[in-house]
Amino acid sequence: MPTERLTFKIATEANEFAQIHRLNYRTFVEEIPQHPPNKDKILVDRFHEENSYCICLDGHRLAGMVAMRARRPFSLDGKVQDLDHHLPPGTVPCEMRLLAVEPAYRRPGVYARLIRFAAEEGIRRGYNLAVASGTVRQTRLYGRMGFTPFASSVGTQEASFQPMYLTLEKALKLFDRLGLPCPPPPAPVSFMPGPVEIDAGVRDSFATRPVSHRSGPVLGMVAEIEERLCKLTGARNVSLLLGSGTLGNDAVAAQLRLLPGRGLVLSNGEFGQRLVDHAARMGLAFEAVDAGWGNPLDLADLEGLLAREEEIAWIWSVHCETSTGMLNELAGLKALCQRHGVRLCLDCTSSLGTVPLDLRGVYLASSVSGKGLASLAGIALVFANHEILPERNIPRYLDLGTYRQQQGIPFTHSSNLLSPLCQALRLLNCEERFAAIRCYHTWIRRTLEDAGLTVIAPPEQAAPAVLSVALPPTLSSLSLGEMLEREGYLLSFRSGYLLERNIIQICLMGELCPEQCSAMLQAFQEAISQRCTG
């Protein structure tokens, strides 16, 4: 039987899964009596929904398979006490299970090519070790493939299995010896909200020698970053905190706690709900106004609310609601707050660097160094248009007044994160960047809608850098996202709120080019055509 005619792929089709369940039964019920028989002669693995099946096909006929999964606990966690103690330190493991090959195809080359394909998938996903439990009947086979046994055998006398692992190093040596070297995985392209694609010069600046945060060069770099950010937004000042956007929002909440009166926290998606949580955890006096997932904020209702409740002193809202791709109306919010003498605070995490952002008249606004600024994550930004004094009733790390009092660096900072941000701001050409993002958005949106898919935010209210695609029940966002990952395109789909709603996101926040967008769209359409059923 020539192996050249065999093909290897990840199972995606209904008929492939049906053959997998039948081969699973024949192997682990009839041949190795691990499970009880049934009249249907079908065995669906208990981890089926979490498995990725690497399969070998002869035409449309299933010749062999091995399942891969990375979610703990592994099946071996329940059979081997303190499993990690047996594994080499510093590894990122996945689990290989259900290695099965039809008798007519049981040749060393078939096993080797199947394991090689699975290894390529593991490399693409960032794993460097595979744990397995192989039948003791095939101990010699597993040994020739480089597996290392550990612990005692598990299972029953009739179905005994040996725990073992395969390191990436041993797998690569095996494939080289057999003339089946694994090609290096291509560099993936990020269409995620973070980490984003960044310029090579920005990336290289991260690797420079660390410099003391008290040194002149770092103080000069902070001053340049602040000047460029204020020029970009129109804000009077900005503070740079070593942390994520969540830290920035906590710092905003700490300042709001100093104000008299009550506030409104507006929500029309996941990140608006997170602002509600920030406010509640800080003990703020506020009312949550929920417009509903994916709905625009109702400024007329807010107008009436402010007219009725004069004690409202501030409003806190997300500008770009990343979860839905909705861009909330900033000009309308600013005018509304000005008419009623109310302070406006904004979460601009996904809008800074992707759309024109005028923060003049905004009391406080938060953002980040990554995402739209196309730098590395790790620095929270808090903009203000008023003088902020130190306040002893605020925890030190959240006290924006302390940052303003001490040249922007009251505590340890990272020159290795400041340098890429400074370089990214130097490279930022707002007019070209905003135009390119709008162009890509229109192009991608049209392609998706022509394919019958729904982008949640309507065009007139959409954030150009975020397309949240609500998939029909016949398409699984998890399956589609994983297929695109294997093609080298990273989309956002693994967050709990996206999985719950079967949403996949295409984000345009990084340094992307038309060729990358075109190739991603082609891969997206091809994946859809394969009907990624969950």
411-422 pLDDT, tens digit each: 999 999 999 999
Looking at the structure, give the CATH architecture of the domain made up of residues 210-427.
Answer: 3-Layer(aba) Sandwich (3.40)
**pLDDT tens, residue by residue, 464-509:** 999 999 999 989 999 999 889 888 899 999 999 999 999 999 999 9
pLDDT at 2 over 60: no
pLDDT at 100 over 80: yes
Q: What DSSP line would sit under 10-67, residue for residue? A: E--SHHHHHHHHHHHHIIIIIIS--S---TT-----TTGGG-EEEEEEETTEEEEEEE
**pLDDT tens, residue by residue, 453-464:** 999 999 999 999
Residues of the chain above pLDDT 70, percent: 98
**pLDDT tens, residue by residue, 387-413:** 999 999 999 999 999 999 988 899 999
Question: How far apart are alpha carbons 60 and 11 in whole angstroms?
Answer: 11
Structure tokens at 493: 């789909």
Residues of the chain above pLDDT 90, percent: 68
Among residues 34, 70, 66, 87, which one has the least CA distance to residue 145? 66
Identify the pLDDT of residue 461. Answer: 95
297 alpha-carbon distance from chain centroid: 27
Identify the pLDDT of residue 170. Answer: 85
**pLDDT tens, residue by residue, 160-216:** 889 999 888 888 887 777 777 766 666 789 999 999 999 888 888 898 889 898 898
Identify the pLDDT of residue 185. Answer: 61
User: Mean pLDDT throughout 514-522?
Assistant: 90
**pLDDT tens, residue by residue, 235-272:** 999 999 999 999 999 999 999 999 999 999 999 999 99
Query: Which are the contacts of 2, defined by CB distance < 8 A and separation ≥ 6?
Result: none
Residues forming beta bridges with residue 506, ordered by sequence position:
467
Question: How far apart are alpha carbons 124 and 187 in whole angstroms?
Answer: 9
Q: Is residue 534 very low, low, confident or very high in pLDDT (cuts 50, 70, 90)?
A: very low
Threshold 0.85, pTM exceeds: no
350 alpha-carbon distance from chain centroid: 14
- Count other Cβ atoms within 10 Å, centred on residue 444: 21
Question: Domains of the chain: which residue ranges?
Answer: 3-185, 210-427, 430-529
Identify the pLDDT of residue 17. Answer: 93
Q: Which fold has domain 430-529?
A: Aspartate Aminotransferase, domain 1 (3.90.1150)
CB 477 within 8 A of CB 471: yes
* Least confident interval from 27-41, 325-339, 369-383: 27-41
360 alpha-carbon distance from chain centroid: 32
* Least confident interval from 15-24, 106-115, 377-386, 425-434: 106-115
Q: Is residue 533 very low, low, confident or very high in pLDDT (cuts 50, 70, 90)?
A: very low
Identify the pLDDT of residue 532. Answer: 46
Q: Is residue 531 very low, low, confident or very high in pLDDT (cuts 50, 70, 90)?
A: low
**pLDDT tens, residue by residue, 61-80:** 999 999 998 888 998 998 89
DSSP class of residue 91 equals: -
Q: What DSSP line would sit under 263-278, residue for residue? A: EEEEESSHHHHHHHHH
Q: What DSSP line would sit under 321-343, residue for residue? A: ETTTTEE--HHHHHHHHHHHT-E
**pLDDT tens, residue by residue, 344-394:** 999 999 999 999 999 999 999 999 999 999 999 999 999 999 999 999 999
Identify the pLDDT of residue 104. Answer: 92
Q: Matching CATH topology for 210-427 and 430-529? A: no
Q: Is residue 311 very low, low, confident or very high in pLDDT (cuts 50, 70, 90)?
A: very high
Identify the pLDDT of residue 61. Answer: 94
Domain 3-185 has CATH 3.40.50.2000: no
